[in-house]
Chain A
Amino acid sequence: MEIIKFLGKGPGFWVLLTVLTVIFLSIVLIILKSSKKQFAGRLIIPVFFMEFAIFFGILALGFPDRGDEVGPGVVPLLWIIGIFGFGIILLIRGVIGHEKEDPTWGRIGKVSIFIALTILYLLIMQIIGYYLATTIYLISGMYYLAYRDWKVMISISAGWILFSYFAFYRLLYVPLPKGLLIEWIFG
């Protein structure tokens, strides 16, 4: 139990995380170099969930026990055992060929840029506020997806801004971010 307590917090936590990451990356490398590389995704995901279960399981075992019949770690451990068990089943299915080959990925670059654009939008929102950031985001999002009708782009953005202002800000009192810059300029 001492080792569990050590791994659950402080430097032990980082040791655990590092060890599990190294093991995971090694397994990924082995899978990618093996004859099963066309099933790589089908095998890597169960491995990830099994390691995830081990990580959370160690943390759950370290929860303080106050002498209760069912402590705070009992139920999480039940679900963790389930994740580990189904992870094993899926791994075996992948190894013995019960799974289809990995699906082909489409335009991951396009999705990644779109996600980055969304994260940028959230960051910019804190500076220039919800209304301006959303207008820019909607127009640039449509432009990025190759839509070029400027009238529609501007009217959709303006319509959404008006709707959010009246429905969320005025009616529902949602405090939409005003933005640091706008607050600094207008007080």
Chain B
Amino acid sequence: MVKELLSNLFEGFGYLAGIGPIIAIVAGVILGILAGAMPGLSPSMGVALLVPFTYGMSPQIALILLVSIYIAANYGGSITAVTINTPGTPSAVVTSFDGYPLTQQGKAGIGLGISLVSSTVGGIMGTIILIFFSVPLARMAVRLHPAEYFALAIFGLTTVASLGGKNWPKAFLAAMLGLLINTIGIDPISGVKRFTFGTYRLFDGFALIPALIGLFALSEVFTRIEEFKLEKGEETKYEKTQWPTFLDYWKLKITIVRSSILGTLIGIFPGAGATIAAFLSYDLAKKFSKKPETFGKGNPKGVAAAEAANSSSVGGALVPLLALGIPESASTAVLVGALMIHDLVPGPMLFVERPDIIYSLFAALLIANIVMLGLGLFGARLWVKVTVIPKKVLMPAILAISIIGSFAVHYSFFDVATCIGFGIAGWILKKYGYPGAPIVLGMVLGKLAETNFRRAVIMGGYDIFFTRPVSLILLVLALLSFGVPLYQTYKANKREKAGI
């Protein structure tokens, strides 16, 4: 079995031996990095925008180009998250927690280097898991009951407890706010209009991308202007940035491997994806750390956990698509469309009828990660220059990027207004210690939690969450994950008061 798989994989590498596939990979990686780095363009949008260009290509080249974009876009989001605290993709929000503090300390190179290498290793590990375990993992994912998906969402929410630290009530309030914001719009089950106030623009609710650009990029700009930390000379400390050594990367090996495995597994679940994978891995890295208090202040492990997880989730998302033909994320749904344009139907039969497509895709995924590493190492020297731009120039530029990024989502000024509104709210809330990340987490998890909660109750009543073993285990884990950081905070406060 393994022998056959490896021989097919070698054949897959053989299909790539030619100038066409290599150009497709390199072009896909460059376009993907650009799409990811640009706030407002998600990986799925990057893939979708390039689909029309693949009509005239062979199915193999088309697929290679699109998955290369998909992989690189997940990494690209971290560049602006680390350098200017403007996450290019929703999952890069988590990268900014420690990546941007590293830049503020004059260590942008450390943040960029770690995000690149972690993304590469994560992407490769996700692909390896995809190659060897796609079929059994996909079967497991589709058998899960809505009650279990709800429990998974609740488990994801508990990361707020450790994100908040001493400010846990504020972090939870922010998460609840994000969850409530997610309910705005037409109810997907009953069709009832909820909190739309007669405004048709709210029928689809608030778009995530403008909200997160506002919460992170704009609030940072407003804080900077308010504190007026734009004086001459401030930028000079960034000029000679450090780069990670091999030893620095080696120290992160466990974090990267653990986050890659978790990221792949989370990526398999519908509606979960890269953002939740990054949040959960970050939380886990913090819990395993001997110095959890350094997270959020420039801990390289925070960057590594987030990036390894979001990149490995690409492999996870491809598991149900290739093994069962079920697209479980926006990006994989676009890939289905691209496959169908070329008369290919994803699913188990594709392994039998067109193994050349499948195994050349696997090989392309592995090579695209290596190309991304090469281009990323070259590009990092350029991207770090962003940090030497005077802040008086950078702040208006960030606003201009944010505005076009928000507008590009739906070509709507309503989204731009949303971005500015969230920016002002994020700035005020941050001032009083309310973090923005739980709001984003709530907005990401809201749909997964609500639809599965309601489906589960319709199928088996309210007690179904406690009668299904997997759901019960996840809820108990969620309770522990919620309770342990709070207990630790309580103990730390007590020690502080006692003066120990």
| Bound pair (A, B) | yes
Query: Chain A interface (Cβ within 8 Å of chain B)?
Result: 41-42, 45-46, 49, 56, 59-60, 63-64, 66, 68-76, 79-80, 82-83, 86-87, 89-90, 93, 102-103, 105-108, 110-111, 114-115, 118-119, 121-122, 126, 134, 137-138, 141-142, 145-147, 152-153, 156, 160, 164, 167-168, 171-172, 174-176
- The answer to whether B173 and A49 touch across the interface, beta carbons within 8 angstroms, is yes
Chain B nearest CB, measured from A118 CB (Å): 6
Q: Which residues of B contact A126 (CB under 8 A)?
A: 413
Q: Kindly report which residue of chain B lies nearest to residue A109, judged by CB atoms.
A: B226
B176–A79 contact, CB under 8 A? yes
What would be 15 A-B contacts, judged by CB atoms less than 8 Å apart? A41-B431, A49-B177, A63-B192, A79-B183, A82-B173, A86-B169, A87-B173, A106-B228, A115-B222, A138-B397, A145-B396, A153-B393, A156-B397, A174-B407, A174-B408
Closest-CB distance, B226 to chain A (whole angstroms): 4
- Which chain B positions have C-beta within 8 A of A82? 172-173, 176, 179
Instruction: Report which of A107, A168, A172, A175 forms a contact with B226, defined as CB distance below 8 A.
Output: A107
Give the residue of B411, B432, B450 whose beta carbon is less than 8 angstroms from that of A75. Answer: B450
Distance in angstroms from B212 CB to nearest chain A CB is 18
- Write out the residue numbers on chain B whose beta carbons fall within 8 Å of the beta carbon of A153: 393
Do residues B399 and A56 form an inter-chain contact, with CB atoms below 8 A? no
Report the nearest B residue to A75, measured CB to CB.
B450
Docked-complex contact B183 and A75, CB < 8 angstroms = yes
Residues of B within 8 A of A (CB): 34, 38, 41, 49, 169-170, 172-173, 176-177, 179-180, 183, 187, 189-190, 192, 194-195, 222, 225-228, 230, 390-393, 395-397, 399-400, 403-404, 407-408, 411, 413, 416-417, 420, 424, 427, 429, 431-432, 434, 442, 449-450, 453-454, 457-458, 461
Cα A71 to Cα B434 in complex, Å, equals 31
Q: Are B173 and A145 in contact (CB under 8 A)?
A: no
Interface of B is mostly: helix
B173 CB contact (under 8 Å) in A66, A86, A105: A86
A145, B225: Cβ atoms closer than 8 Å: yes
Residues of B contacting A106 with CB < 8 Å? Answer: 226-228
- The DSSP consensus for interface residues of chain A is helix
The complex places the Cα of A101 from the Cα of B214 at a distance, in Å, of 27
Q: Decide if B187 touches A174 in the complex (CB within 8 Å).
A: no
Query: In the complex, what distance in Å separates the CA atom of A146 from the CA atom of B390?
Result: 11
Question: Are A89 and B169 in contact, CB atoms less than 8 angstroms apart?
Answer: yes
Chain B residue with the shortest CB-CB distance to A126 = B413
The 3 closest A-B pairs by CB, nearest first: A141-B396, A82-B176, A147-B392
Q: Is the CB of A72 within 8 A of B192?
A: yes
User: How many Å lie between the Cα of A90 and that of B226 in the bound state?
Assistant: 26
Docked complex Cα distance between A86 and B49 (Å): 42
- Given the interface pairs A41-B432, A42-B432, A56-B180, the reply to whether A141 lies near B395 with Cβ below 8 Å is yes
- Residues of chain B within 8 A (CB-CB) of A41 are 431-432
Q: Are A174 and B411 in contact (CB under 8 A)?
A: yes
Cα separation A142 to B403 with both chains bound (whole Å): 16
Closest to B191 in A: A72
Given contacts A82-B172, A111-B226, A142-B393, contact A103 B431 (CB under 8 A): yes
Q: Least Cβ distance of A179 to chain B in Å?
A: 13
Candidates B172, B420, B431; contact of A115 at CB < 8 Å: B420
Q: What is the CA–CA distance of A45 and B427 in the complex, to the nearest angstrom?
A: 13
**Contacts A167-B34, A174-B411 known; 4 new A-B pairs at CB < 8 A:** A64-B192, A80-B180, A106-B227, A111-B427
Contacts of B395 in A (CB 8 A): 141, 145
Closest to B451 in A: A75
Q: Which residues of B contact A73 (CB under 8 A)?
A: 194
Interchain nearest-CB distance for A95 vs B (Å):
14
The CA-CA distance from A70 to B208 in the complex, in Å, is 26
Question: CA A74 – CA B457 in complex, angstroms?
Answer: 11
**Given A66-B190, A72-B189, A115-B424, does the pair A164, B404 have CB atoms closer than 8 Å?**
yes
Contact A122 B413 (CB under 8 A): yes
B450 A160 Cβ-Cβ under 8 A? no
Please state if B416 and A70 are interface contacts (CB–CB under 8 Å): no
Determine the chain A residues whose CB is within 8 A of the CB of B449 once the complex forms: 75
Instruction: Point out the residue from B399, B413, B417, B442 that lies within 8 Å of A141, measured CB to CB.
Output: B399
